[in-house]
Structure 1
């Protein structure tokens, strides 16, 4: 699943990051990139479906939206890092890795950032100008030897418990599992990623606490499609 946010830029060099849903001119052919141990590079195809050219900057980081290419730290390099993409033009990004320092017992999760800036409009009046840029993020996963594709039977082993009025999801697997469309009683939310060998507060403390003992959710698999699940809450 792709994450997007808008960034406003002006001649005063003010940069504001605002969460938003939307679609930019540049589209990506995949929703995630998976490196299995031994692989040193992967490719992502971009195409500009807009009617105007954009400047694209790409890098990999830990997913923090405050990161910039200068502050990002990840064992990946994206080539080319900056380029112009004309209307209807396509471009292949190469992601290279040396995997230095990554754990050997679990999947490591990073994010590919695709930052696109539209051209300035010459029709705008003189003075401060405002441009709307879009930053898209998609998952980059590195899997060590022995951690193969994510399977339904792995997701079925996630356990859900009540704790202090909250619902906790426990992931005892070496995969980072992406949950979406979580439904419990009257609550509905987008949960995000449950990291490998960890637990996450899925539903915050409720008052009064529902008596329902089942939870419904979807998981995004390696192909970018979804699996549907129903599980017990203990």
Structure 2
């Protein structure tokens, strides 16, 4: 479960989270951590609709080449109205970095029932929602260091720009950067990068930021 808190570095970190979009399917988490050594990690899909829905689960590999490292079981399922389906994720390839986290994306696609058409002249549109959340593989060597890792984030002035540096082996999700409590305007590309701040990486904020800085971040 995501938690809220504040820590001080050269900046101040506060933690927040966003709710899932309204859909027939609701997952019991906004992100999932797969710790090395576990046989699997499981999550629940709840069907809040009044009808039976089908579902499909797959995992996108973001930065580990074309390898298949995570497999959902079952990949296809059917769940009744107001019922739950348990999905297990199995690590099928241990050839992942041992010194840092690896990021994957877990997708759960709704397959709605065929719409009932009472008038053959009317068109009926069925909307299928896709829930997409982070799946993070955490090697055993860094299992115990994640708590308050945001305290290690650094701001560095290099020339005429400020860089946000993540010296840790953990992924971080930065929502915003603030100066004196006010949001600093950053480009869409920068916002995208800091939202998935990679381990041992830094991001050019594209501007000079001085004095007291705060960073809003989602924590695991």
Same fold (TM > 0.5): yes
**By how many angstroms is 1:63 displaced?**
5.2
Q: Which residue is 1:199 aligned to?
A: 202
| SS of 2:42 mapped into structure 1 | strand
Q: Give unpaired runs (5+ residues) of structure 1.
A: 3-20, 65-71, 223-234
Give the direction of change, closer, same or farther, for the CA distance of 1:54–1:162 in structure 2 (3 Å limit): farther
Alpha-carbon distance between aligned partners in 2 of 1:93 and 1:28, rounded to the nearest angstrom: 10
Greater relative contact order structure (CA < 8 Å, 6+ sep): 2
5+ residue gaps, structure 2, are 3-19
Give the RMSD, CA atoms, in angstroms: 2.9
Structure with the higher fraction of residues in strand conformation: 1
The structural deviation recorded for 1:140 is 1.3
Task: Give the TM-score of the pair, scaled to structure 2.
Answer: 0.74
Q: How many residues were matched structurally?
A: 191
Once the two structures are superposed, the pairs formed by residues 170-185 of structure 1 within 5 Å of their partners are: 170-184=165-179, 185=182
| Higher normalized helix content (fraction of residues) | 2
Q: Distance in 1 between matches of 2:36 and 2:116?
A: 49
For residue 15 of structure 2, what is the aligned residue in structure 1?
none
Partner of 1:12: none
Where 2:129 maps in the other structure, the secondary structure is strand
Superposed CA deviations along residues 131-179 of structure 1, whole A, max 9, x for unmatched, are 3221111121112222024121x21111123457554211111111122
- 1:215–1:23: structure 2 CA closer, same or farther, 3 Å change rule? same
Q: What's 1:142 paired with?
A: 137
1:187 maps onto 2:181 in alignment? no
What is the 5 A alignment of 1:1-234?
Answer: 22-62=21-61, 73-123=67-117, 125=120, 129-149=124-144, 150-152=146-148, 154-163=149-158, 166-184=161-179, 185-187=182-184, 191-201=194-204, 203-205=205-207, 212-222=210-220
Any idea what SS the aligned residue of 1:146 has? Answer: helix
Cα distance per residue 1:18-45 (max 9 Å; x no partner):
xxx8311111112222122211201101
Corresponding residue of 1:228 = none
In 1: Cα distance, 2:167 partner to 2:99 partner: 12
1:63/1:106 CA distance change after superposition, 3 Å: closer
TM-score, normalization by structure 1: 0.70
For 1:25 and 1:220, the matched residues in 2 are separated by: 25
Equivalent residue, structure 1, for 2:17: none
How many Å apart are 1:187 and its aligned residue?
2.4
Q: Which moved more, 1:40-49 or 1:113-122?
A: 113-122
